[in-house]
């Protein structure tokens, strides 16, 4: 199918951006890992001009973000946010077997291959096919994530984030189980240092939930929700941090741990929004007007963080 002028211009701009970023060099573990995350995001966005469903996802994310923070704008995020994850699930199935930028070993290799087809001998990751268990596990994870988003938006609309729904918590757990199953199938195993790190973050979150519940900022139901959801998120993050599997492969694979960390952060922001909601319930003074606006901004940032997290994690598992 011929490209539209808009998508052709978008592809040209993305190719120029990828070429510039591929030449950036950094030193040190932290900066190296950060740059790998940037490469993974760019590799995930680069197919947009030719993968219409991925382009629609990016546009819906922008619409959803501004729908949350701008007054008098229709709250289309209620429909857009779960649609984003369902489109990503459809994208994974529709593009099964295709070579994408994320499959390349490095961004430099992709840029060179794009400019001079056949000039790069570096191996690419093997595309997942419709027969791959990993493809269906990540697809199920994305669908469960959409269900969790519907539950979250429903609670937000009724100002009930302080009392998480049981089916919403189950959806978060199931989404992480899908990702964890795909990571285990790839041969990933949690390593000692990452187990300790994520267990510590999880324990801190549980402690914060217990304290907030005691101060009536959130309901008592928040504690088991944080215990279960946090444990599931921590397990996924620990698995995709296995460097022997995800640091030695493709661009997309090296972004998987970044995706899991972003999803972890998004859940932490959801908890923060619940606490803010608890502090403004039933009040109408100027300070609470500020808190309501803060809650709206937190919601927009949380939604976009979650979208990028799902995108990187699904690509990291499907395009490794």
Q: What is the pLDDT of residue 210?
A: 96
Provide the whole-model pTM: 0.93
Q: What is the pLDDT of residue 282?
A: 52
Q: What is the pLDDT of residue 229?
A: 94
Per-residue confidence of the chain (320 residues) as pLDDT tens digits?
A: 455 567 778 888 888 998 899 899 898 989 999 999 999 999 999 999 888 899 999 999 999 999 998 877 778 999 999 999 999 999 999 998 888 999 999 889 888 888 888 777 766 777 888 888 999 999 999 999 999 999 998 888 777 788 888 999 999 999 999 999 999 999 999 888 899 999 999 999 999 999 999 998 899 999 999 999 999 999 999 999 999 889 878 999 999 999 999 999 999 999 998 888 877 765 555 556 677 788 888 999 999 999 999 999 999 999 88
The structural domains of the chain, with segments of one domain joined by +, span 5-318
Q: pLDDT (tens digit, 9 = 90+) per residue, 246-288?
A: 987 899 999 999 999 999 999 999 999 888 887 776 555 555 6
Q: What is the pLDDT of residue 123?
A: 66
Q: SS in 3 state form for the chain?
A: CCCCHHHHHHHHHHHHHHHHHHCCCCCCHHHHHHHHHHHHHHHHHCCCCCCHHHHHHHHHHHHHHHHHHCCCCCCCHHHHHHHHHHHHHHHHHHCCCCCCHHHCCCHHHHHHHHHCCCCCCCCCCCCCCCCCHHHHHHHHHHHHHHHHHHHHHHHHHCCCCCCCCHHHHHHHHHHHHHHHHHHHHCCCCCCHHHHHHHHHHHHHHHHHHHHHHHCCCCCCCHHHHHHHHHHHHHHHHHHCCCHHHHCCCCHHHHCHHHHHHHHHHHHHHHHHHHHHHHHHCCCCCHHHHHHHHHHHHHHHHHHHHHHHHHHHHHHHHHCC
Q: What is the pLDDT of residue 140?
A: 97
């Amino acid at each position: 199918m011929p490209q539209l002028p808009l998508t052709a211009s978008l592809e040209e701009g993305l190719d120029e951006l990828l070429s510039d970023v591929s030449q950036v060099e950094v030193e040190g573990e932290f900066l190296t890992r950060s740059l790998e995350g940037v490469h993974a995001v760019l590799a995930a966005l680069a197919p947009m001009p030719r993968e219409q469903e991925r382009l629609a996802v990016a546009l819906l994310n922008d619409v959803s973000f501004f729908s949350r923070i701008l007054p008098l704008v229709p709250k289309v995020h209620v429909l857009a946010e779960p649609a984003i994850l369902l489109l990503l699930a459809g994208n994974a199935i529709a593009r099964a077997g295709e070579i994408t930028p994320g499959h390349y070993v490095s961004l430099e290799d992709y840029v060179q291959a794009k400019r001079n087809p056949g000039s790069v001998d570096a191996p690419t990751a093997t595309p997942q096919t419709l027969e791959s268990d990993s493809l269906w596990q990540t697809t199920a994870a994305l669908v469960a994530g959409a269900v969790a988003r519907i539950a979250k938006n429903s609670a937000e609309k009724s100002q009930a984030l302080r009392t998480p729904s049981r089916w919403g918590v189950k959806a978060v757990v199931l989404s992480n189980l899908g990702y964890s199953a795909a990571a285990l199938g790839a041969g990933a195993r949690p390593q000692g240092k990452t187990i300790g790190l994520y267990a510590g973050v999880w324990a801190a979150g549980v402690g914060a939930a217990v304290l907030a519940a005691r101060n009536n900022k959130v309901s008592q139901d928040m504690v088991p929700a944080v215990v279960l959801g946090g444990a599931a998120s921590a397990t996924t993050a620990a698995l995709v941090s296995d460097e022997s599997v995800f640091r030695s492969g493709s661009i997309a694979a090296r972004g998987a741990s970044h995706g899991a960390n972003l999803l972890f952060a998004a859940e932490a922001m959801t908890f923060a929004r619940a606490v803010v909601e608890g502090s403004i319930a039933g009040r109408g003074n100027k300070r609470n007007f500020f808190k309501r606006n803060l809650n709206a901004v937190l919601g927009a940032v949380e939604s976009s963080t979650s979208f990028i997290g799902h995108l990187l994690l699904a690509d990291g598992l499907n395009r490794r």
